[in-house]
Amino acid sequence: MRSWGQLPTEVMRETERLEWDNTTNLRGRLQGTRGFPISLPLKPPAAGDALMDIDHFHNWVNAWRQWSKPSQVQWVTRRYRVVGDVEVPVRLELANVKELIEAIGPVAINRSQAWAALMEPLLAVDRRLYEILIRQILVLEQMSHRAAQQMAKVLPQLHQGVGNGHYLRGVPLEGIDTKFLEAHTPLLTALLDVIHEGAPSQSGGLEAWLGCLPTPSNWLYIRPLCPDLRQQIGGFRVLQIPLEQFLAQPLPGRRVLVVENTKPGYALPELADTIAIFGGGRNTQWRLAPWLAERDVAYWGDIDSWGLTILSDARQALPRLTALMMDRETLLTHMDFAVEESRSTNLPAFGLLAEERLLFEGLIISTQSVIRLEQEYLAQDYVLSKLYSWVNGCTTKS
């Protein structure tokens, strides 16, 4: 590979790679934090190198003489044997973003024109948005022109408290679809932070600043396991409610049975004065519901490193919690159905009883292999006997 005499196409290909395709460098140039001029060495040859490839030497000099903006090219006079004194190009200097774009050519020109078209309606709202739009340039250029116009239309309509009493999708706006705020929350928050001097982020984000009701998340299945409890919740056999409501609204029933996975929740039998919670998986935020402290709570999950970790999290919040079918007896009874856990976690420091810690340690065959028994593979008659024993034990204690 030739080490001297870079042609314009070679220089601009490398410049495009370093300054245009590199998002960090590009943002820096556009924001002014990465200064100008950009100085690009053209690598003039030593005398011996020029004589070894005199044709390329002449082509190289002529190519830079034809550069569209001669003032950008610095020349010096050098003496070469045979050809004598020759002016050769030593450096190309690009003074600003406009010159960088023009030098790279159509790819950069078309892209920058697209940016300008997308920014135009937003800058008409507030010229101060330029810097954040540059910072979010990759997000911006994924938007359609229609979306940019909608964003310019919605920004003046958004102010603190405008969503009071509404979910985010229900904020009363003119000419804006119900999905728009949700689809563009990060960019909208960044732009509104500029317009409102950081208030949206300081308030906890767009939803909180608008005064919206928290969008329901982390849904849980609720299944009353006896007729009396079904009647108390309107006759429904299964409900799905967001975590936020579960934490705030006590459910009926003296006993609460929490099941890690969804499908085993549907296989539960009728149990007097018991309501089942299932489908939360590894999300253990349910344990923070203050009303659970007044109930008899049991947890049934997989016998693996994650199931026992969930159990430890739950018991730290609910010390009286009972673990069901998460013991050595259950594992040995169903060992034919045990498999290898594909990705395990570490033994929790707190929350497990002594026998549960021994069970966890017994699951570890090697540093790469951990036993796993999914709760779905327990025999139904075994499950029923353990559940009935738990209910009877709670009844005896009460």
Arithmetic mean of pLDDT, 40-44: 90
Encode the chain in three state secondary structure: CCCCCCCHHHHHHHHHHHHHCCHHHHHHHHHCCCCCCEEEECCCCCHHHHHHCHHHHHHHHHHHHCCCCHHHEEEEEEEECCCEEEEEEEEEEECCHHHHHHHHCHHHHHHHHHHHHHHHHHHHHCHHHHHHHHHCHHHHCCCCHHHHHHHHHHHHHCCCCCCCCCCHHHCCCCCCCCCHHHHCHHHHHHHHHHHCCCHHHHCCCHHHHHCCCCCCCCCEEEEECCHHHHHHCCCCCCEEECHHHHHHCCCCCCEEEEECCHHHHHCCCCCCCEEEEECCCCCCHHHHCHHHHHCEEEEECCECHHHHHHHHHHHHHCCCCEECCCCHHHHHHCHHHCEECCCCCCCCCCCCCHHHHHHHHHHEEECCEEEEECHHHCCHHHHHHHHHHHHHHHHHHC
Does residue 54 lie within any of the structural domains?
A: yes
Confidence of residue 218 (pLDDT cuts 50, 70, 90): confident
Task: Provide the pLDDT for residue 398.
Answer: 56
Position 367 pLDDT exceeds 80? no
Residues 263 and 336 in one domain: yes
Residues 36 and 112 in one domain: no
Residues 229 and 359 in one domain: yes
Does residue 2 lie within any of the structural domains?
A: no
Residues 173 and 196 in one domain: yes
Instruction: With 0.75 as the threshold, say if the pTM is over it.
Output: no
Quote the number of domains for the chain. 3
Domain that holds residue 362: 220-397
Arithmetic mean of pLDDT, 287-315: 95
Task: Provide the pLDDT for residue 160.
Answer: 95
Does residue 277 lie within any of the structural domains?
A: yes
Confidence of residue 86 (pLDDT cuts 50, 70, 90): confident
Last residue of a domain, one of 83, 100, 117: 100
Residues 122 and 187 in one domain: yes
Contacts of 364 (CB under 8 A, 6+ apart): 344, 370, 371
Q: Is 301 exposed, middle or buried (0-12, 13-18, 19+ CB in 10 A)?
A: buried
91-149 tens-digit pLDDT: 999 999 899 999 999 999 999 999 999 999 999 999 999 989 988 888 898 899 999 99
Does residue 215 lie within any of the structural domains?
A: no
CATH assignment of the domain containing 320: 3.40.1360
Does residue 1 lie within any of the structural domains?
A: no
Does residue 185 lie within any of the structural domains?
A: yes
